[in-house]
């Protein structure tokens, strides 16, 4: 036994010299391939392929001992990423190079602190990502129902953050200054009058329960003169300036955050649509996360990759069918698309006309004595525009969903078309509602009309028109929430319970629903657009919307896991991550139009609000600027002159032209690199074929 321990194997002398071999080596031919460079290093202590042959050809004697051999260092100082080493060895090589360069350079201390700062920023970003609410829930939804459904819940979480930030700004810039300057004055009395009429928001006498419920649902009565609406805030101090600042700062923050969210989605969409990556190989070889631990996370990741591959296969099948069409078939497809688009335009026009007429008729019906005497009818008439808009928004998207597959587009393009049509329907319906209200406020744009001549607005019917607009937005928000609750509690859950009692395939078919991502996303964007429009007239509307979205998240999560099944037809999650913020950005721009129109062109109410007695809502801003020092005034007024605007326009044009030229040069470089990749691929195929031919000529190795 001990003698066996003293035995030492004879050291390996390496392969035979190249001249002693018969023919040319297949391995030597394969080693010439670029793809073989990553295989030449086989772990610490083992020499790369071909190194012994090179030593023998150069006169070397034998092989070096394997024990304790370090990772091979290249003769030339190559970058770490180009070395055919494992990741761990390349990281160590990069650190050694950085240490040597840092010791030699005079600014090593600055570089050290710069690296520490970058490392701290990365850790901060990781910490902020770990603090995201419902991270595990959103990941689980993505693994079980696909990337589109996950994008909906991610967008809902993002909108919840926007409304929370807007609520904080309103509390800090509007509510606190109002209460810190003393208790606000009460509402005007019944006998108070002015050249612009009288305004009495409170109803006299005892309030019954039906009237209290009516006031809660319509925003009238005790809610009309409350911090919820514009008319409550007094005209004192700099409250008007802070009121406007809260609106503009909220819009700016929303714009920046939406743009920041849409940029990564744009990159993913352009990369996916450009064909720069081979979709299947990219997902098979690069989509797996090797840091996963636990069977649950592994299954979720498997499902996500499965959904992505399913989307690619579906879209590839549609593209193959489109490529195989003849000229006649293509003409027929375009004719069908043109007819369907005409049908969509006709339906949208009818819906917009109906919104305009219903809003006007509802205002006239509320003034009839019979409606005023019946609280239930009065509530129904006040909600008539909201009911009509919600009905149109429910019916027409179903028609758009049925039309989409008939046009012959891929699933992703169908999603984009449905989103664009539905968002145009919802946002344009909201704009037509506001247009109808604006027609009532400004007497149809006729400033010389009898009702608008004295005060610049229809003070007889709308003594505090800002509060009236805020009440309409409040009713839209409340009706949308009640509709979501009613559908979930009285349609989806009873259907699930009823169909679970039915045996066989009928119960399984009727008991599960697909989560309609486009409709749900457009519902969120519509609700957020209503909040952006109404936040000027109803300052606490973002706070109410925060509570609504919080309730909606748990309600949708419950209905998703209990009543819905994974969609039979999925779509690309990268496109959803770009299209959804883009539509949200469109809603932000459209909501800015009526708000800016009200601020600059319509005179404020004379009997309510922080701008009472002013020529316009914008008037406090120039008045506040005049109180600043002369240097600050000159600078601010210089920003509004042509001497500042023209150079700014020129500099912006130069920067834009430079950016476009740089993008074009990058595009040409990318095209050239793609051609090089294709050439390298052909070279590899040729070398492999040549190596196999040489190996077959020389016989077995």
pLDDT per position as a tens digit, 382-440: 788 888 888 888 888 888 888 877 877 777 677 778 778 888 888 888 888 888 888 88
Higher confidence at residue 508 or residue 30?
A: 508
Sequence-distant (6+) residues with CB within 8 A of 379 are 214, 217, 218
Taking alpha carbons only, the member of 379, 533, 399, 452 closest to residue 197 is: 452
Sequence-distant (6+) residues with CB within 8 A of 287 are 305, 308
pLDDT per position as a tens digit, 113-171: 777 777 777 777 777 666 777 888 888 887 777 677 888 888 899 999 999 999 999 99
Residue 37 reports pLDDT greater than 50: no
What are the structure tokens assigned to 295, written together?
């069977």
What are the structure tokens assigned to 26, written together?
């297949």
Q: What percent of the chain has a predicted confidence (pLDDT) above 90?
A: 11
Q: Which residue has the tokens 């195929």?
A: 685
Higher confidence at residue 316 or residue 503?
A: 316
CA separation for the pair 383, 379 (Å, rounded)? 6
Residue 213 reports pLDDT greater than 60: yes
Buried b (16+ CB within 10 A) or exposed e, 234-264: bbeeebbbbbbebbeebbeebeeebeebbee
Residue 246 pLDDT? 92
CA separation for the pair 198, 460 (Å, rounded)? 8
The stretch 524-544 carries a mean pLDDT of 92
Cβ–Cβ under 8 Å, residues 84 and 37: yes
The stretch 594-615 carries a mean pLDDT of 87
Q: Is 28 exposed, middle or buried (0-12, 13-18, 19+ CB in 10 A)?
A: middle
Taking alpha carbons only, the member of 136, 113, 10 closest to residue 62 is: 10
- State the chain's mean pLDDT as an integer: 76
Taking alpha carbons only, the member of 630, 648, 491, 517 closest to residue 572 is: 517
What are the structure tokens assigned to 4, written together?
């066996």
Strand, coil or helix: 194: strand
CA-angle at 71, arms to 105 and 286, nearest 5°: 90
- Kindly report the pTM of this predicted structure: 0.72
pLDDT per position as a tens digit, 548-574: 999 999 999 888 888 877 665 555 555
Residue 548 pLDDT? 94
């Amino acid at each position: 036994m001990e003698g066996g321990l003293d035995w030492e194997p004879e050291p390996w002398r390496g392969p035979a010299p190249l001249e002693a071999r018969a023919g040319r080596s297949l391995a030597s031919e394969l080693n010439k391939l670029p793809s073989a460079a990553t295989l030449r290093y086989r772990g610490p202590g083992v020499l790369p392929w071909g190194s012994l042959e090179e030593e023998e050809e150069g006169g070397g004697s034998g092989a070096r001992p394997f024990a304790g051999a370090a990772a091979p260092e290249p003769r030339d100082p190559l970058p770490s990423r180009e070395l055919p080493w494992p990741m761990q060895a390349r990281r160590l090589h990069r650190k050694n190079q950085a240490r040597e360069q840092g010791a030699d350079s005079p600014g090593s201390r600055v570089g050290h602190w710069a690296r520490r700062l970058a490392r701290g920023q990365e850790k901060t970003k990781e910490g902020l990502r770990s603090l995201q609410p419902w991270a595990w829930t959103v990941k689980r939804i993505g693994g079980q129902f696909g990337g589109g459904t996950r994008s909906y819940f991610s967008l809902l979480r993002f909108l919840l953050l926007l409304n929370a930030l807007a609520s904080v700004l309103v509390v800090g810039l509007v509510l606190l200054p109002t209460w810190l300057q003393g208790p606000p004055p009460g509402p005007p009395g019944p006998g108070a009058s002015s050249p612009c009429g009288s305004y009495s928001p409170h109803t006299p006498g005892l309030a019954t329960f039906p009237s209290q419920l009516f006031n809660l649902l319509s925003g009238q009565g005790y809610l009309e003169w409350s911090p919820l609406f514009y008319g409550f805030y007094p005209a004192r101090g700099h409250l008007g300036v802070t009121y406007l600042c809260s609106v503009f700062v909220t819009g700016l923050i929303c714009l920046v955050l939406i743009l920041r969210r849409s940029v990564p989605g744009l990159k993913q969409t352009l990369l996916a649509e450009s064909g720069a990556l081979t979709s299947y190989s990219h997902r098979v070889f690069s989509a797996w996360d090797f840091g996963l631990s636990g069977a649950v996370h592994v299954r979720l990741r498997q499902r996500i990759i499965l959904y992505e591959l399913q989307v690619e296969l579906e879209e590839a099948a549609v593209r193959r069918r489109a490529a195989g069409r003849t000229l006649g078939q293509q003409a027929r497809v375009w004719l069908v698309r043109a007819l369907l688009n005409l049908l969509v335009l006709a339906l949208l026009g009818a819906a917009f006309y109906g919104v305009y007429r219903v809003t006007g008729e509802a205002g006239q019906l509320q003034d009839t004595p019979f409606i005023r005497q019946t609280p239930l009818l009065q509530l129904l008439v006040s909600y008539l525009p909201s009911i009509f808009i919600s009905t149109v928004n429910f019916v027409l998207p179903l028609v758009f969903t049925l039309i989409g597959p008939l046009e012959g587009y891929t699933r992703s393009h169908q999603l984009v078309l449905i989103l664009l049509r539905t968002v145009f329907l919802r946002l344009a319906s909201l704009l037509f509602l506001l247009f109808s209200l604006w027609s009532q406020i400004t007497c149809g744009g006729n400033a010389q009309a009898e009702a608008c001549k004295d005060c610049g607005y229809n003070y007889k019917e709308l003594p505090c028109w800002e509060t009236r607009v805020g009440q309409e937005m409040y009713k839209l928000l409340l009706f949308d929430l009640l509709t979501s609750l009613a559908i979930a509690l009285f349609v989806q859950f009873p259907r699930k319970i009823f169909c679970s009692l039915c045996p066989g395939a009928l119960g399984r078919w009727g008991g599960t629903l697909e989560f309609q991502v486009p409709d749900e996303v457009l519902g969120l964007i519509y609700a957020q657009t209503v909040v952006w429009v109404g936040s000027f007239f109803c300052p606490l509307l973002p706070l109410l919307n925060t509570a609504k979205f919080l309730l909606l998240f748990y309600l949708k999560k419950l209905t998703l896991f209990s009543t819905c099944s994974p969609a039979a037809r999925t779509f690309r999650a990268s496109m959803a991550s770009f299209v959804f913020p883009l539509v949200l950005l469109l809603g932000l721009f459209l909501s800015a139009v009526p708000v800016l129109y009200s601020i600059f062109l319509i005179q404020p109410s004379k009997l309510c609000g922080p701008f009472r007695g002013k020529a316009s809502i914008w008037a406090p801003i120039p008045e506040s600027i005049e109180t600043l020092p002369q240097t600050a005034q000159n600078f601010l007024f210089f920003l509004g002159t042509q001497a500042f605007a023209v150079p700014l326009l020129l500099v912006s044009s130069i920067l834009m032209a430079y950016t476009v030229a740089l993008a074009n040069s990058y595009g040409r470089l990318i095209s050239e690199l793609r051609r090089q990749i294709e050439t390298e691929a052909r070279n590899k195929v040729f070398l492999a074929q040549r190596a196999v031919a040489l190996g077959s000529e020389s016989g077995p190795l």
